[in-house]
Amino acid sequence: MNSKRGTRHADSRTRTLQCIADGRRRAALRILLDAEERLPVREVASRLADAERGVPDAAAAETGLVHVHLPALSDAGLVEWDRDDECVETATHPVLDDPRFRELLETDGDGADEALSALSDERRRLALAVLRDDGTTVSRSALAGEVLRREAGDADTNPDADDVRRVEFRLHHVHLPKLDDADFVAYDPERGRVSYADHPALETVFAAVHEAGVDPADGFDDLSAECGLSRR
């Protein structure tokens, strides 16, 4: 894969995962996929209110759709939303034909939003993949170096020391605290040591992405390889 194509696909994965890191948005997209037709926004809202706890009524659901969720889904290329006709349908994004993506949309329960949010950042995806594959406690600097190797697509490359320090800085101040707060990793900032935490919600997401025997769809195709999702 050339670097431009790899960057384009990484950006697509990031936008897609960021978009569906919200349970209400996943539910709305499930409704549209099941309908297989154009629906009035009001109808989507009604079905959301019927299906979800925590949605007081269809009017409140419609307000959330119009002002929050449909703009995000449209920007991600997952729906086509006609604001004038107040109707919406699924777009032609290839990820919508990938059964693994449907598995992600079905992901629910404690930690589901946080797991998808964690994986929505490419560097966090790689860091989690490294830790999951390693299965032991590693140093922050070793993690930074391995993340750079995976970004380069070359396990034998020797990353520049300055690059390792820059990645380690971001891991320490941005990514590892977020992952530690969500209980996806165990991070000791004083010792600079970190390990994968086998969180059930994160494992559910990993398993969905790496579903066996599924032909990958363009735009979502490299996520399982990028995340190093070998079967356990």
Residue 210 pLDDT grade (very low, low, confident, very high; cuts 50, 70, 90): low
Provide the pLDDT for residue 92.
92
The backbone torsions φ and ψ at residue 108, rounded to the nearest 5 degrees and listed phi first, read: -150, 180
* pLDDT confidence band for 227 (50 / 70 / 90): very low
Give the residue with greater pLDDT, 97 vs 220: 97
Instruction: Answer whether residue 105 is part of any domain.
Output: no
Same domain? 135 vs 84:
no
Query: Average pLDDT of the chain?
Result: 85
CB atoms within 10 A of CB 187: 24
Per-residue confidence band for 194, with pLDDT thresholds at 50, 70 and 90: very high
Whether 120 and 90 map to the same domain: the answer is: no
Question: Domain check: are 211 and 120 in the same one?
Answer: yes
What's the confidence (pLDDT) of residue 211?
Answer: 54
Q: Is residue 108 part of a domain?
A: no
Q: Are residues 77 and 120 in the same domain?
A: no
pLDDT at 53: 67
CATH number at residue 19: 1.10.10.10
Per residue in 107-162, pLDDT (tens digit) is 888 899 999 999 888 899 899 989 999 999 999 999 999 999 998 888 888 999 99
- The domain tally of the chain equals 2
The model's pTM? 0.80
Higher pLDDT, 1 or 196: 196
49-69: pLDDT as tens digits: 888 765 668 888 999 999 999
In a domain, 102, yes or no: no
Q: Which domain holds residue 187?
A: 115-226
Q: Within this chain, do residues 121 and 49 fall inside the same structural domain, yes or no? A: no
Indicate whether 170 and 203 sit together in one domain: yes
Classify residue 128: in a domain, yes or no: yes
pLDDT tens-place string over residues 154-186: 888 899 999 999 999 999 999 999 999 999 999
Domain match, 81 and 156 both: no
Q: Is 109 inside any structural domain?
A: no
Query: Both 45 and 87 in a single domain?
Result: yes
Residue 162, domain member (yes or no): yes
Residues 173 and 204 in one domain: yes
- pLDDT of res. 10: 59
At 117 the pLDDT is 92
Tokens of 34: 């099941």
99 pLDDT band, cuts 50/70/90, is confident
Tell me: do 120 and 218 sit in the same domain. yes
